[in-house]
Structure 1
Amino acid sequence: MLTTGTTTFLQELAHNNNKPWFDANRDRYTAAKEDFEVVVADILKGLAKMEPAFAEQKPKDCIFRIFRDVRFGTDKTPYKSHFGAYFNKGGKKSTGAGFYLHVEPGGKTFAGGGLWMPESPVLKAVRQEIDYNFDEFKAIIDDKKFKKMFPEVTGESAKKPPVGYTEDNPAIKYIKMKGFVVSNNIADKEIHSKTFVKTVTDTFATMDPFIQFLNKGAEIS
């Protein structure tokens, strides 16, 4: 679980997103970051039971910097008002599918994962895998437990079918997608619960067949 000090820091940062405030509260940031690292370390232990490669990873291999890259996008605030960690057996810079934890108080915390806007060769391979093995893909996303936790696979969709596919393809809804993402919201009260890590790892475990399918399609070893 995370301490209330961590979520309070993130809440106050959201309202004071500027360098002077951050510098004056740098000790609080350091404490919050270390608190999040402990949680990420515990999640890695849980993931290692599903995939041994995670046993070799450290929190720093998963956690994203809180400092925002203001060169791109319209949001020019210097800091993110959340903590984020990406869990991928190939590391957070891997092009394969993986798991993501987003901690942001105010009802914005979630555990999710998948492939977000993959590069063209990976996207093409995943689309082909869905086309060739649509029954397997449908069985995964229509599984009762999976469907309850992740009602819908989301992602930007192309207006027209990709080259080589037609509108009458049974899998065309997913073949048109440019990314494949699922997520499950986590209530604020759960962040501070002793069961928080278990909630996250159970969510990832339910998601795992989906992640494995995407990585098989992308031929990620």
Structure 2
Amino acid sequence: MATTYFSAATFTFLRALARNNNRSWFIANKARYERDVREPYLQLIADLQAPLAKISTHYVADPRRQGGSLFRIHRDIRYSNDKTPYKIWAGARFAHERRREIEAPSFYLHLQPGDCFAGGGIWNPESATLKQIRNFLADNPAAWKRAAHTRAFRERFEFWGGTLKRPPAGFDPAHELIEDLKRKHYAAGHDFPEALACSDELQPLLIDTFKRIAPLIDYLCAALDLEF
């Protein structure tokens, strides 16, 4: 039976948090966060365990309250000029089992008023990881085109993040995939409306999205010597 996880109350809370991003307001409204955001999100993550395992046994949907797939609501403000303490979105990363030992691509879900999206890949990789991906892409263009240049991919997904203005050092400016080699991030996905997030169509959408983005994740795993 199809399940509905989130509701209008989920996005009402996130909008209110954006207007009242301070500790006293959050503490007073923590029960709303637990009821309308965290608990349904953890249930969704738990329900994605079996479908995700069918896509890859090396990827994990971890419904633990701490240290699992759900991002914590608290922001890391140590090195930021923005000292607001809480994220005004709720995100989940479905990570590779080896993510703690090596930088790895992941599947992703993001819920935010006016900005819901799902997809996967690797965002803002460290320079060594980025170079490794670019080297692999330069040497394996045909497989990349099958993973990320098909009509079905282009119709469903778009790449996220910026690109270099010039070809990266050490790469042929005439390479057939030079625009891909200029990417700073190798992550893609698609948007969806709040109404869908609050319906029983969300889980089927995510499963379909993760299946369709899997060739991109698989390719990036190969680039980084990871199992998929």
Question: Common fold, TM-score beyond 0.5?
Answer: yes
Give 2:69's aligned residue.
62
2:110/2:116 contact within 8 Å kept: yes
Task: Return the match for 2:137 from 122, 130, 142.
Answer: 130
Distance 1:2 1:91, change over 3 A: farther
Which residue is 2:10 aligned to?
6
Q: What letter corresponds to residue 81 of structure 1 in structure 2?
A: I
**Structure with greater proportional helix content:** 1
- The percentage of counterpart residues that share the same residue type is 34
Q: Which of structure 1's runs of 4+ aligned residues deviate more than 4 A?
A: 91-94
Match of 1:82 among 78, 81, 89: 89
The 5-angstrom pairing of residues 171-186 of structure 1 reads 171-186=177-192
Q: Is the 8 A contact 1:40 1:59 kept in 2?
A: no
Find the aligned partners of 1:204 and 1:124 in 2 and give their Cα distance: 25
Aligned residue in 2 for 1:116:
123
CA deviation map 1:15-70 (0-9, x unaligned)? 11111111111111222211111112122332111112346843442111101111
TM-score by length of 2: 0.88
What is the alpha-carbon distance in structure 2 between the residues aligned to residue 214 and residue 18 of structure 1?
39
Could you tell me which residue of structure 1 aligns to residue 30 of structure 2?
26
- Gaps in structure 1 of 5+ consecutive residues: none
What is the CA deviation profile of residues 104-145 of structure 1, one whole-angstrom value per residue up to 9, with x for unaligned ones?
A: 12x201002211121222212211111111122112222222
| TM-score between the two structures when normalised by the length of structure 1 | 0.90
Which position in structure 2 is the counterpart of 1:187? 193
1:35 aligns with 2:35: no
User: How many pairs does the alignment contain?
Assistant: 219
Aligned-residue CA RMSD in angstroms? 1.9
Q: Is the 8 A contact 1:62 1:92 kept in 2?
A: no
Contact persistence 1:134–1:171 (CA under 8 A): yes
Deviation at 1:5, TM superposition (A): 2.6
Answering whether residue 100 of structure 2 is matched by residue 100 of structure 1, we say no
Aligned partner of 1:218 in structure 2 is: 224
Pick closer, same or farther for the CA change 1:131–1:86 going to 2, 3 Å: same
Q: Is 1:141–2:148 an aligned residue pair?
A: yes
Looking at structure 2, the residues matched to 89 and 23 of structure 1 have their Cα atoms a distance apart, in angstroms, of: 33
- Tell me how far apart the structure 2 counterparts of residues 202 and 186 of structure 1 sit (CA, whole Å): 13
Q: Which runs of 5+ in 2 are unaligned?
A: none
Code of the residue aligned with 1:43 in structure 2: it is L
